[in-house]
């Protein structure tokens, strides 16, 4: 977010208006405007990559939790089956006690 906001501020201050597509508008590009454009593009890229990674790692976490529930259910037929979230909360409580 810092890159994105910084790039937009530099572009607005130096050019007087945001220039996100410099080749379409055919305006003169100097160093501060190019810096603003680069920072803005980098900010958008990093934010987009962050959203993609959040979705990817959430899917992996869901898969792992399901596997934990499956394995706990097979080993403990006579014991009440706990969900993966309950097991994680118990482990967290044990760590806090230690």
pTM confidence score? 0.50
More confident residue, 23 or 52: 52
Q: What is the 3-state secondary structure (H, E, C) of the chain?
A: CHHHHHHHHHHHHHHCCCCCCHHHHCCCCCHHHHHHHHHHHHHHHHHHHHHHHHHHHHHHHHHHHHHHHHHHHHHCCCCCCCCHHHHHHHHHHHHHHC
Instruction: Dump pLDDT digits (tens) for 4-51.
Output: 777 777 766 766 655 555 555 555 667 777 777 788 788 888 889 989
């Amino acid at each position: 977010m810092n890159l994105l906001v910084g790039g937009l501020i530099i572009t607005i201050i130096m050019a007087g208006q945001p220039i996100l597509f410099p080749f379409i508008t055919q305006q003169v590009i100097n160093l501060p405007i190019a810096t603003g454009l680069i920072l803005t593009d980098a900010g958008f890229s990093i934010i987009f990559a962050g959203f993609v990674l959040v979705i990817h790692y959430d899917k992996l976490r869901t898969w792992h939790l399901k596997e934990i529930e499956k394995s706990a259910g097979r080993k403990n037929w006579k014991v009440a089956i706990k969900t993966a979230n309950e097991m994680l909360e118990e482990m967290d409580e044990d760590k806090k006690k230690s």
